[in-house]
């Protein structure tokens, strides 16, 4: 079950991000670059993430090896929830504003009856109060790989302010609830056990 909500708060989710400025109304793609990427959280501790930045600095991939929430024998309560806060710093021409428009997640979920697994992400721009959250819930016994693509509607998009270049922020989390004495897990990863999330950016012209 997937749900989407726009919130008027500033809080908490990038792993592969695709900057697509060539769309109608967007800036010259040669003038859009990723300056830096930073991350922190229980799901992406130091040393557990590899960064791949394209030669033209318009796309990057974060490969995460520890983004796993688990429960059952030998686990601690803190193992049942993991998060990763990611900050993306862009450079782009004046006169434009950007928003995160689409997101793709790949992962694995294994839960028995009595356990619910949730994958959630929240998107916001530094200094802005508005945020958008997406959530996918698994509440039936399952053992499978999953792939989710979220398309954020134009009305719900969180836009960077005109006249200032501010970072985009994303907090992604996975968590387990219910009978945590049972063995269960949910990850955000690719087939080979690394995290891969794809993000698209939407652009508009400032007045």
- Taking only the tens place, the pLDDT of each residue in 23-50 is 556 777 778 777 888 889 999 998 888 7
Supply the pTM of this predicted model.
0.77
| Distance spanning both ends of the chain, measured CA to CA | 39
Residues of the chain with pLDDT under 70: 1-25, 53-60, 153-155, 189-200
User: CB within 8 A of 156, min separation 6: which ones?
Assistant: 4, 6, 132
């Amino acid at each position: 079950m997937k749900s989407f909500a726009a919130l008027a708060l500033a809080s908490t989710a990038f792993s592969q991000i695709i900057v697509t400025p060539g769309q109608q109304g967007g800036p010259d793609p040669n003038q859009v670059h990723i300056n830096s990427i930073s991350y922190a959280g229980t799901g992406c501790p130091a040393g557990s993430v590899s960064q791949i930045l394209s030669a033209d600095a318009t796309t990057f991939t974060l490969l995460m090896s520890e983004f796993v929430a688990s429960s059952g024998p030998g686990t601690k309560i803190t193992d049942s929830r993991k998060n990763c806060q990611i900050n993306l710093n862009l450079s782009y021409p004046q006169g434009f504003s950007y928003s995160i428009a689409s997101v793709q997640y790949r992962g694995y979920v294994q839960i028995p009856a009595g356990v619910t697994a949730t994958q959630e992400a929240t998107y916001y721009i530094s200094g802005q109060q508005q945020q958008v959250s997406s959530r996918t819930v698994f509440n039936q016994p399952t053992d499978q790989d999953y792939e989710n693509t979220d398309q954020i509607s134009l009305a719900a998009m969180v836009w960077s302010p005109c006249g200032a270049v501010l970072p985009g922020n994303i907090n992604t989390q996975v968590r387990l609830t219910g009978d945590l004495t049972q063995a269960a897990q949910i990850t955000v990863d690719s087939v080979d056990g690394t995290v891969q999330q794809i993000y698209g950016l939407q652009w508009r012209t400032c007045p």
